[in-house]
Each structure stands twice: as C-alpha cells, then as structure tokens.
Amino acid sequence: MCANANIASGIKSERTDKLLQPKSSGHFTFKEKILEVIKRYPNGCPDSVLRAEISAKEVKDMANSINELLAEHRIDLLKSGNEIYYKFVSESAVVDSMMPLDPLEKLLYQLIVDAKNMGIWIGDLKTKSNIPHRRLMKVIRSMENRKMIKTYHSMAHSRKKVCMLYDLEPHPMIVGGSFFTDEMFDTEFLASISEYCLKFLKSKADNASHFPTFINRMNKRNATVEEVWQFLCNSKISNVNLSQIEVERVLENLVYDSQIEKKFENAKPVYFLTKPLERNQGILHSPCLSCEIALDCVKGGTISPSTCQYFSDWFLDE
C-alpha cells in the first residue's frame, strides 16, 4: 500500500511539474495553439470561433487535440443552446482537481489518461497498478459513479472490458463503428448502405453511357470514396454519420462480392459497376479514333497500344 501511495505521489508531483513549467519560446504545437485561442475567452470560446481561428488543413486534427486537452483537464466543455464552448482550466485548478482522489484512484486515473481513447483493459490496470482485483473493481466502480471514467466491452475481444476517461469518444476499434448496435453487427444496416452505394454507381454508369467517346464513358463511370460518402450524407438515409473509412470498407466488401470493380487513378482508388456499360460494336468504337494523342502512339514508344489502359479495356470488352 505504501508503495502504491509513493507511486501515486510521484505521479502527482510529475504532473504538477509538467503543468507548471514555463513553455518554451519556440513554435507552439497545434494543441498549444488551440489552448492559446481558448485562453483569450475567459467566459468560454465558442466552437465556431475556434474553427475560424485555425486553418482549414488543421480542422481535421482539432477533435483529437480537443479530446487530449479534455483528458488532461486543461479545458472544460460547456454548452449553451446549440453552441459549444471551450473554457480554459487554470493549472492550479487542474492540480486541485486531483486532490479529492485517494492514492489508488490517482494511480488508476493516470493510467487511464495515458490510454487516451483506446482505453485500457482492466487486466492491464491490475498488472500495472499491482492492486488486488477486488479492491481494483471497487475503485473502478467508484470512479464510474463519479463520472470520471467509463467502461466498454472491446469489440475485438468481447470478454475484455476497457476503461477510459468519461468525456472521451471511444476509438471505433473499441465500439465497432457505425455497423455495430449494442455490440452486435447490424447486417441490415450494412445491406442498406451497400444498396445505396450500388444505386449511386449505377447512376454514374447510366450518365456515363451517354458520352460519345469510349474514353469519356470509362472515366465518367468511376467514383471516388469521397463521392460515394458525400452521396450517402446528402441522401440522409440514416441518422448515423458514417466516416469515409467505413464507406470505403463497404465498397471493398462489394468488390470482394464481385458486384463492383476497383482501379486506381492518380494513386487514388475509384470504383465502378462490374457490368459493362455497353458492348462495343467493332473498330468504329475503338478509343484510338477519339484519342487526342493518337499521333504520338507508336509500338515500343512511351505512348504505345501495348501500355494503353483504354485500348486494353476496349479490346477485352469487345
């Protein structure tokens, strides 16, 4: 017990040192940049103002930085009406917020903070803290009741329970993402999303079939992950906000089922229906007749029939 108390005391001391040490005069990290903006609004910085203060390229990293600042208790999250506010928490307040915790709670809390939104398995907490199981579970339940932490069943290991900070959004690997409901895989939802993906690709193919040249027909039928994702968002077929990664997984599943095909354009994957748009009708529909660089196309050259993807697609289709 004394050993645990000493460890917890050391954690507090180390945490206090980190919080109170002066920042270097060099460049701010992105997280510190966010914190500096929030500090300028003592009564709370509106989310819209914060987004306006940072560049468009940095917005995608904003959520992770906000989660880290919340986990470190350097900011508070407030809400007024439909607006979200972020309020700076002074360093002394952060240290004081740790005071009501007993040494064991401080030790466990720090381990859970370090795990971020991946959480930490209760078995690992037991190993790292060296706290007996019964006592460990009692402390965890106490912290849960005080809304300091929350627990989840890991989708990768259904029998494992992980702990994370109460205010953090768990990583999709923990909860299974949008296609899991109450820890069960939602096959109907997947089928519905797959159907809408096919519907979109069919509309692309139908529109492409009206173009006069083979090259245009081949290009216009393709869709990127972002295009499919945007279509699903605009369709509002579900209250669940799918990520582009999840949409890509659906498309890959359709490729695996041979319902659509995939190729790469400019190093990015594009998808299209497996069914040909139309059967070719002889040499008159050869892409060579409408190719703008046909005069530069020679056998063995940089531009050659043997390396032309359009010619290969047309020839195989024929």
Burial code (b: 16+ CB inside 10 Å, e: under 16) for 26-64 equals eeeeebeebbebbeeeeebbebebbeeebeeeeeeebee
Identify the residue whose tokens are 């004394």.
Answer: 2
Q: Measured on CA atoms in the order 264, 210, 284, 290, is the torsion positive or negative? A: negative
Whether 222 contacts 203, CB under 8 Å: no
264 plus 192 within the same structural domain: yes
192 plus 262 within the same structural domain: yes
Q: Is residue 114 part of a domain?
A: yes
Alpha carbons 19 and 296: distance in angstroms, whole number? 66
Task: Among 138, 156, 176, give the residue marking a domain's end.
Answer: 176
CATH of the domain at 39: 1.10.10.10
Alpha carbons 8 and 22: distance in angstroms, whole number? 24
Whether 217 contacts 208, CB under 8 Å: yes
Task: Among 90, 110, 129, give the residue marking a domain's end.
Answer: 90
202 plus 124 within the same structural domain: no
191 plus 124 within the same structural domain: no
pLDDT at 138: 92
Task: Among 72, 90, 108, give the residue marking a domain's end.
Answer: 90
pLDDT at 235: 85
245 plus 297 within the same structural domain: no
Tell me which residue range forms the domain holding 142. 99-176
CB-based contacts of 47, cutoff 8 Å, min separation 6 = 83, 84, 85, 86
Q: Is residue 19 part of a domain?
A: no
Alpha carbons 306 and 23: distance in angstroms, whole number? 61
114 plus 131 within the same structural domain: yes
Identify the residue whose tokens are 């290991």.
Answer: 157
Please provide residue 234's backbone torsions phi and psi, each rounded to the nearest 5 degrees.
-70, -30
196 plus 149 within the same structural domain: no
107 plus 170 within the same structural domain: yes
Q: Is residue 282 part of a domain?
A: no
By CB atoms closer than 10 A (0-12, 13-18, 19+), residue 236 is exposed
Stretch (H or E) spanning 79: strand 75-80
Closest CA to 156 of 141, 142, 172: 172
Q: Is residue 86 part of a domain?
A: yes
> Cα–Cα distances in Å, from 108 out to 4, 131, 133, 238?
10, 9, 13, 38
pLDDT at 231: 92
Q: Is residue 225 part of a domain?
A: yes
Alpha carbons 116 and 180: distance in angstroms, whole number? 22
Whether 233 contacts 218, CB under 8 Å: no
pLDDT at 81: 72
User: pTM of this prediction?
Assistant: 0.41
CA 306 and chain centroid, separation: 41
Count how many domains the chain has.
4
163 plus 198 within the same structural domain: no
242 plus 266 within the same structural domain: yes
Tens-level pLDDT at each residue, the chain (318 residues): 444 444 334 433 433 333 333 333 334 577 888 888 898 888 889 988 888 887 766 766 788 888 888 877 778 888 777 788 888 876 545 545 555 677 888 888 889 988 888 889 898 999 988 889 999 999 999 888 888 888 887 665 556 788 988 877 777 666 667 776 665 667 788 888 999 999 999 999 888 888 877 777 888 889 999 999 999 988 888 777 888 888 988 898 888 888 899 999 888 899 998 765 444 445 556 677 677 777 788 888 888 878 888 777 766 554
- Amino acid identity, position 283: I
Q: Is residue 182 part of a domain?
A: no
Q: Is residue 40 part of a domain?
A: yes
Burial code (b: 16+ CB inside 10 Å, e: under 16) for 82-119 equals eebbbebbeeeebeeebeebebbbbbbbbbbbebbbeb
Q: Is residue 20 part of a domain?
A: no
